[in-house]
Amino acid sequence: MCRVVDLHQAVLVKNDERAGALRTELAARGTTVVNLLSSPGSGKTALLEAELALAASRGVPVAALTADLATEHDAERLARAGVPVKQVLTDGLCHMEADMLRAQLDGWLPDGTRLLFVENVGNLVCPASYDLGESLRVVLASVTEGEDKPLKYPTAFGLAHLVVVTKDDIAEAAGFDEDAFRANVRQVNPGVEVAVTSARRGTGVGLVLERALAVAAGGAVHRPVMARNGSDGVGDSVAGGGTGVEPGGVDDAMAGGVPVRGRS
């Protein structure tokens, strides 16, 4: 005799719960998390350095935690802004999870930090599935990565609250077709804002900081289509949704002739 038990639990529910708890805890401390996702070499560290420097110059208390430092030099660059910067080692894991972030904060994150930027592992596949307790998820692509990047990584771009184009100063040399890129972003995430930036020229840097501060001030955040039926995903949690447990049931899920519910 065998038996089948209906669980209907999202497999990522544990991470989602921890992320939700972390979001609540940090909100009580006045801190908003900005999760930065991109491929390696997309200019994420350069943009982050520019954001930290701009925030520091405006007296906005910020901090950065990075899981994606290619070199020691990157750490030095980030530290130049004079704000708290910490590196987290993921032990080869391809993404960060909420409890990994949580474990870094005590004794490090200063009280009153307004924005905590998290530079996720350089990868557009795995980190997309993990809510870190962020309130703003930013997905970056440089002009050298091609206009079809959003279609190659639809989960990452589809769940973004803000899409950022980097290295706009070399867009012409790279032959970047911004209209085509925007159309592809729109296909997987209609309504999401695309900010075009150049860390070298300093363009667009202020816009990204303003968007982050607006969210920190309680402003509405874009709600991606892909986050709207979520059994996982950041959108649900941001919206205060449930644990991913869907109604409906064992009858539907168990259709197909497999012997189920053998015991009454």
- Residues paired with 198 in a beta bridge: 203
To the nearest whole angstrom, how small is the minimum distance from the Cβ of residue 249 to another protein? 8
Q: Smallest distance from the beta carbon of 191 to another protein, in angstroms?
A: 5
Stretch that binds another protein, among 18-26, 82-90, 144-152, 211-219 (CB under 8 A): 144-152
Interface pick for another protein out of 56, 109, 126, 194 (rule CB under 8 A): 126
Q: Which stretch binds another protein (CB under 8 A): 65-73, 80-88, 109-117, 128-136?
A: 128-136
Please give the Cα distance from 196 to 141 (Å, whole number): 10
Q: Build a one-symbol-per-residue string for 152-191: x at contacts with another protein by CB under 8 A, - elsewhere.
A: x-xx--x---------------------------xxxxxx
Find tokens 């279609």 and name the residue.
151
φ, ψ for residue 130, nearest 5 deg: -115, 115
**CA-to-CA distance for 196 and 188, rounded, in angstroms?**
18
- Answer for which of 20, 133, 204, 233 binds another protein (CB under 8 A) is 233
**Residue 8 found at the interface with another protein (CB under 8 A):** yes
* Closest by CA position to 209, among listed 65, 47, 76: 47
Query: Closest CB to another protein among 11 and 180?
Result: 11
Least distance CB 34 / another protein (angstroms): 21
| 250 touching another protein, by CB under 8 A | yes
Sign of the Cα torsion 116, 119, 120, 125 reads positive
Please report, to the nearest 10 degrees, the dihedral formed by the alpha carbons of residues 38, 77, 165, 220 taken in order.
Answer: 80
Do 22 and 35 form a contact (C-beta atoms < 8 A)?
no
What is the smallest separation between the CB atom of 75 and another protein, expressed in angstroms?
Answer: 25
The verdict on 122 binding another protein (CB under 8 A) reads: no
By the rule CB under 8 A, 128 interacts with another protein:
yes
* Token pair of 25 as six digits: 């805890």
- CA-CA distances (angstroms) from residue 124 to 100, 140, 141, 144, 219? 19, 9, 10, 16, 26
Q: If you ran DSSP here, which 8-state letter would residue 207 be given?
A: H
Using CB under 8 A, list all residues that contact another protein: 1-15, 93-95, 97, 125-126, 128-130, 150-152, 154-155, 158, 186-191, 225-226, 228-233, 244, 246, 250, 253-254, 256-260, 262
